[in-house]
């Protein structure tokens, strides 16, 4: 469907659990992103990686820990989350071409923290 | 202070009509502008991108950009019930900085 895949698509976890979200892009892009989408709020940028290097950490709590082992893969490690962290977590990738950069999204992981 | 503002709606139009979605942005150095469509429970899907002043047409969709007024719009001609979704406006500055509006909910009534 898209060049960006995410697993799992749905996740339910308790506040003491540790889990990881995975994102993979097949578009040859060099930038990858994590966003959080909650109801009635704009997309919140969490992290940006450019050529595997983190270039943005948008004041995200330390209970969210990103990892980018290469330009195609991005992880979001979760631990001791709170119920208010329940949201849709979206991965995206982008590539600058002829001075223009367009972002494409994965299908998202719907997270519920109990 | 919001970077990108949209009317949250809901906006309702009859089938076959033109739907007009509007977006304003605050940063004058914004370079790239995007419209995404998001169906309930799904991720945003890119519909249009526009980079220079004027109109850009793609099928039933037309994006309009006015940098002097810091305004970008999306027109959907011959609206169909399948166009019912939330439409997100996004603005990019330089580098990897993308800012999104809260989205406008559109309902096309058969």
How buried is A101 (Cβ within 10 angstroms: 0-12 exposed, 13-18 middle, 19+ buried)? buried
pLDDT value at residue B101: 92
pLDDT value at residue A54: 81
How near does any CA of chain A get to the CA of B10, in Å?
Answer: 12
Nearest partner of B107 among B45, B7, B5, B15, judged by Cα = B15
pLDDT value at residue A2: 67
A90 closest CB neighbour out of B43, B46, B99: B43
Distance, first Cα to last Cα, chain B:
38
Across the strands, what pairs with A59? none
Residue B78 in tokens: 């011959």
Residue ranges of chain B with pLDDT lower than 70?
A: 1-2, 95
pLDDT value at residue A57: 74
A43 closest CB neighbour out of B2, B46, B100: B100
Q: Tell me which chain B residues have a C-beta less than 8 angstroms from the C-beta of A90.
A: 43-44
A66 in B contact zone (CB under 8 Å): no
Residue A13 in tokens: 């976890």
By CA distance, what is A98's nearest residue in B? B51
Contact status, residue A21 vs residue A89, Cβ threshold 8 Å: yes
Task: Pick from A53-67, A87-101, B46-60 the range whose average pLDDT is largest.
Answer: B46-60
In this predicted structure, the answer to whether residue A1 has a pLDDT above a threshold of 60 is no
Residue A50's pLDDT band, with cuts at 50, 70 and 90, is confident
Averaged over A72-98, what is the pLDDT?
A: 92
Averaged over A16-32, what is the pLDDT?
A: 94
How buried is A62 (Cβ within 10 angstroms: 0-12 exposed, 13-18 middle, 19+ buried)? exposed
A39 in B contact zone (CB under 8 Å): no
């Amino acid at each position: 469907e898209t060049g960006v895949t995410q697993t799992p698509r749905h996740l339910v976890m308790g506040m003491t659990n540790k889990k990881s979200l995975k994102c993979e892009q097949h578009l040859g892009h060099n930038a990858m992103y994590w966003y959080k989408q909650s109801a009635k709020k704009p997309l919140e940028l969490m992290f940006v990686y450019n050529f595997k290097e983190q270039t943005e950490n948008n004041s995200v709590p330390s209970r969210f820990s990103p990892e980018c082992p290469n330009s195609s893969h991005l992880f979001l490690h979760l631990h001791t989350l709170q119920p208010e962290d329940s949201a849709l977590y979206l991965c995206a990738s982008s590539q600058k071409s002829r001075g223009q950069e367009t972002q494409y999204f994965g299908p998202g992981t719907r997270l519920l923290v109990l | 202070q919001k970077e990108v503002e949209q009317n949250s709606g809901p906006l309702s139009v009859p089938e076959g009509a033109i739907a007009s979605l509007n977006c304003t942005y605050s940063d004058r150095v914004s370079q790239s502008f995007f419209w995404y469509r998001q169906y309930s429970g799904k991720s945003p899907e890119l519909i249009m991108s526009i980079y220079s002043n004027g109109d850009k047409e793609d099928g039933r969709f037309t994006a309009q950009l006015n940098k002097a007024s810091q305004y970008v719009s999306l027109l959907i001609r011959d609206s169909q019930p399948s166009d019912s979704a939330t439409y997100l406006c996004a603005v990019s500055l330089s580098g990897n900085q993308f800012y999104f509006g809260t989205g406008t909910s559109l309902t096309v009534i058969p």
